[in-house]
């Protein structure tokens, strides 16, 4: 199948895990540019370095930028840098996020912890949506030819990384579940507000994925791998590429009429 990805992607949290796999997938699928955004500059540089040999667009460029997504001025200067380098932004995947390392019952959660999760998982995403849609709104409406027909694909696409905890609750992980539910609400509202501007906004909601975030959770709960096998109908956790491929599809012109959706990719975990 010919690639329909050819624009510029800004991927947050791309120094690790799902974000890194998404950045590499865009490079492999034909993106002209991938902007690797992360708190950890060394990790962002490493993703950018790995993307170059696998890129399929002859004009491909990778740009690594250290950004704290909770800091609006840091996000704004990143976006300015991207516009100066590439002139446009076609895809924005918001994968920067934090997970739970310590389980705590609802009556033990404090406002400090809640606020930390809120700032990264919700405000960090909102900061990127606001700064990036401002650029997208100035871009012309793109079309592509697909199977002999012209298809309107709009001015840009945003994809937020939620979780199956955007839909269900897991005992004793209040800040994560609360912020991932909020992220889905943010996604739906941003989709509504941006639909007239021809900008699509969606979320992917993975179950467990093999990343450093899950390694950290396993450290805090050694019974987790056995528990995962019993509660995941497919009896395994996802590899990052299985999430990245769905993200690339959802942001591609092939998904041109999908907006405000949360796509659960969890090996069947939330079915029972």
Terminal CA-to-CA distance of the chain, rounded, Å? 35
Handedness of CA 67, 178, 220, 103 (dihedral sign): positive
Q: Which of 86, 91, 117, 208 binds ligand NAD (CB under 6 A)?
A: 208
For the CB of residue 231, give the shortest distance to ligand NAD in the complex, in Å. Answer: 13
CA distance 188 to 181: 11
Q: Please, which residue, 39 or 82, has the CB nearer to ligand NAD?
A: 39
**Active-site position among 41, 52, 137, 180:** 180
Is 43 near ligand NAD (CB under 6 A)?
yes
Q: Which of 133, 193, 191, 122 is nearest to 163 (CA)?
A: 122
**Active-site position among 60, 176, 188, 229:** 176
Say which DSSP state 255 is in.
Answer: G
Q: Please state the φ and ψ torsions of residue 9, each to the nearest 5 degrees.
A: -115, 135
Query: Among the candidate windows 62-70, 81-89, 105-113, 139-147, which touches ligand NAD by CB under 6 A?
Result: 62-70
Q: Please, which residue, 22 or 153, has the CB nearer to ligand NAD?
A: 22
State the SS3 of 97-111: CCCCCCCECHHHCCH
Q: Catalytic: 176?
A: yes
Q: Please, which residue, 130 or 143, has the CB nearer to ligand NAD?
A: 130
Is 40 near ligand NAD (CB under 6 A)?
yes
Helix extents (H) in the chain: 17-29, 41-51, 72-86, 111-117, 124-136, 174-194, 212-220, 224-231, 240-251
| 159 Rama class: left (phi>0) / alpha (psi -120 to 50) / beta | beta
CA distance 229 to 222: 13
Is 69 near ligand NAD (CB under 6 A)?
yes
Is 17 near ligand NAD (CB under 6 A)?
yes
Is 262 near ligand NAD (CB under 6 A)?
no
Q: Catalytic: 91?
A: no
Sites for ligand NAD among residues 93-112 (CB under 6 A):
95-99
Task: Summarize as ranges the residues that interact with ligand NAD (CB under 6 A).
Answer: 12-13, 15-19, 38-40, 43, 67-70, 95-99, 120, 124, 161, 163, 206, 208-209, 211-214
Show which residues are catalytic. 176, 180
């Amino acid at each position: 199948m010919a690639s329909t990805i050819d624009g510029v992607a800004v991927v947050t949290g791309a120094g690790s895990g799902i974000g890194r796999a998404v950045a590499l997938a865009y490079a492999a699928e034909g993106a002209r540019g991938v902007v690797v955004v992360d708190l950890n500059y060394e990790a962002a540089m490493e993703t950018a370095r790995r993307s170059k040999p696998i890129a399929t667009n002859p004009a491909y460029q990778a740009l690594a930028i250290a950004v704290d997504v909770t800091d609006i001025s840091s996000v704004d200067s990143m976006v300015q840098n991207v516009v100066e380098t590439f002139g446009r932004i076609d895809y924005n995947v918001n994968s920067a996020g934090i997970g739970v390392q310590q389980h705590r019952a609802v009556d033990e959660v404090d406002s400090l912890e809640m606020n930390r999760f809120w700032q990264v998982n919700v405000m960090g995403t909102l900061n990127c949506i606001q700064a990036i849609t401002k650029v997208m709104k100035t871009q012309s409406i793109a079309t592509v030819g697909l199977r002999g027909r012209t298809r309107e694909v709009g001015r840009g696409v945003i994809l937020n990384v939620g979780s199956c905890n955007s839909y269900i609750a897991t005992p004793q992980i209040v800040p994560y579940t609360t912020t991932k539910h909020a992220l889905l609400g943010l996604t739906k509202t941003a989709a509504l507000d941006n639909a007239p501007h021809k900008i699509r906004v969606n979320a992917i909601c993975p179950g467990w994925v093999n990343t450093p975030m899950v390694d950290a959770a396993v450290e805090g709960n050694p019974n987790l791998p056995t528990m995962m096998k019993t509660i995941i109908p497919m009896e395994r956790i996802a590899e990052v590429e299985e999430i990245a491929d769905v993200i690339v599809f959802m942001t591609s012109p092939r998904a041109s009429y999908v907006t405000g959706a949360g796509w659960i990719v969890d090996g069947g975990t939330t079915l029972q």
